[in-house]
Amino acid sequence: MNQRMRESISLGVSYLIIFIMILFVLFPVIWTFVSSLNPGDNLYTSEMSFIPKNPSWRHYNKLFKETNFTLWYRNTLKVAVATSVLTVILVTFTAYAFSRLEFYGRKVGLIVMLGLQMFPGIMNMVAMYVLLNLIGLLDTHLGLIIIYAGGSIPYNTWLMKGYMDGITKSLEEAAIIDGASKWAIMWRIIFPLILPMVSVIAIFSFVSPFGDFLFARLVLTTPTNWTLAVGLHDFINARFGQRYTQFAAGSLLAALPITILYLSLQGLLIGGLTKGSVKG
């Protein structure tokens, strides 16, 4: 009986901790949603509550009618998808080379990539601006995509390489005996086993353009090329910072693609990790 009581108490404490953690996670989201329904322009009012007394959707209507929100959204999705795809391709090939191939400068290259993570990206802003201006990619989405994808290569390469190192080489040796090429081994054997890490890198790369403001503001100068972060920042400052409720509505809409992508890849992540646990 005492054992059952201890198990019940332990289970109850576990559920309580989980419930508290969920509250911490959901509270900002709920508050932002409630703020977006506030009829006024301020986030904090005397009538503010978790159940709005006079909810209004006019802030969402204003975003589409009074701003270029649809254009910003389309630009951000374009940059995010291209960045995610390019990052996955570059990181996969780079990690495969460091994990499976022997070449001169391999260890030095890994150390250099690790050392690059010591310097924040903001230190390279001036150099990136000058470089993009020299090659004619300033104020273009391609220039921004290159910055995002290139900047994520060192860290993600280390992650992917560590995951690839856990894959037994006996699978490749068997494939080589059967006459498979390096290309076939990469795409038919290695790639299916690293799908969990590919999914993680794809999600992280997709999320970055939605939340980044500094590099997007530096590279993109034409309003028609702006991403959501730049566009919403300009929108909230257009009237002395009195559009916080519209900004809350825009931030919620900006989070939709990220949520959909995560939910879509959740099964792949869990299934891939299960398969990867027995890869040897």
Write the pLDDT tens digit of every residue in 244-258: 777 778 888 888 888
| Three-state helix/strand/coil letters over the chain | CHHHHHHHHHHHHHHHHHHHHHHHHHHHHHHHHHHHCCCCCCCCCCCCCCCCCCCCCHHHHHHHHHCCHHHHHHHHHHHHHHHHHHHHHHHHHHHHHHHHCCCCCHHHHHHHHHHHCCCCHHHHHHHHHHHHHHCCCCCCHHHHHHHHHHHHHHHHHHHHHHHHHCCCCHHHHHHHHCCCCHHHHHHHHHHHHCHHHHHHHHHHHHHHHHHCCHHHHHHCCCHHHCCHHHHHHHHHCCCCCCCHHHHHHHHHHHHHHHHHHHHHHHHHHHHHHHHHCCCC
Residues found in the chain: 280
Q: Which amino acid is at 61?
A: N
**Are 99 and 164 spatial neighbours (Cβ–Cβ below 8 Å)?**
yes
Arithmetic mean of pLDDT over the chain: 81
Q: Which amino acid is at 246?
A: Q
Query: In this structure, is residue 108 part of a structural domain?
Result: yes
pLDDT band for position 75 (cuts 50, 70, 90): very high
pLDDT given at position 251: 82
User: What would the pLDDT profile of 155-209 be if each residue is shown by its tens digit?
Assistant: 888 888 888 888 888 888 888 888 888 788 888 888 888 888 888 888 889 988 8
180: phi then psi, degrees, rounded to nearest 5: -75, 145
Query: In this structure, is residue 93 part of a structural domain?
Result: yes
CATH label of the domain that carries residue 93 = 1.10.3720.10
Q: What is the tally of structural domains in the chain? A: 1
pLDDT given at position 77: 93
pLDDT band for position 240 (cuts 50, 70, 90): very low
Query: In this structure, is residue 33 part of a structural domain?
Result: no
pLDDT band for position 275 (cuts 50, 70, 90): very low
Which one is predicted more confidently, 179 or 42?
179
CA distances from 269 to 194, 203, 239 (A): 10, 11, 44
What's the chain's Rg over C-alpha atoms? 24
Long-range contacts of 104-109 (CB under 8 A, 24+ apart): none
Instruction: Tally the C-alpha atoms within 13 A of residue 137's C-alpha that lie toward its C-beta.
Output: 14
Query: In this structure, is residue 261 part of a structural domain?
Result: yes
Query: In this structure, is residue 175 part of a structural domain?
Result: yes
Asked if pLDDT for residue 64 goes beyond 90, the answer is: no
pLDDT band for position 102 (cuts 50, 70, 90): confident
Query: In this structure, is residue 160 part of a structural domain?
Result: yes
Query: In this structure, is residue 120 part of a structural domain?
Result: yes
User: What would the pLDDT profile of 105-145 be if each residue is shown by its tens digit?
Assistant: 888 888 888 787 777 777 788 888 888 989 988 999 999 99
Q: How far apart are CA 122 and CA 127, in angstroms?
A: 10
Asked if pLDDT for residue 236 goes beyond 60, the answer is: yes
Query: In this structure, is residue 51 part of a structural domain?
Result: no
pTM: 0.80
pLDDT band for position 271 (cuts 50, 70, 90): low
CA-based nearest residue to 152, from 197, 204, 111? 204
**Domain span at residue 231?**
60-276
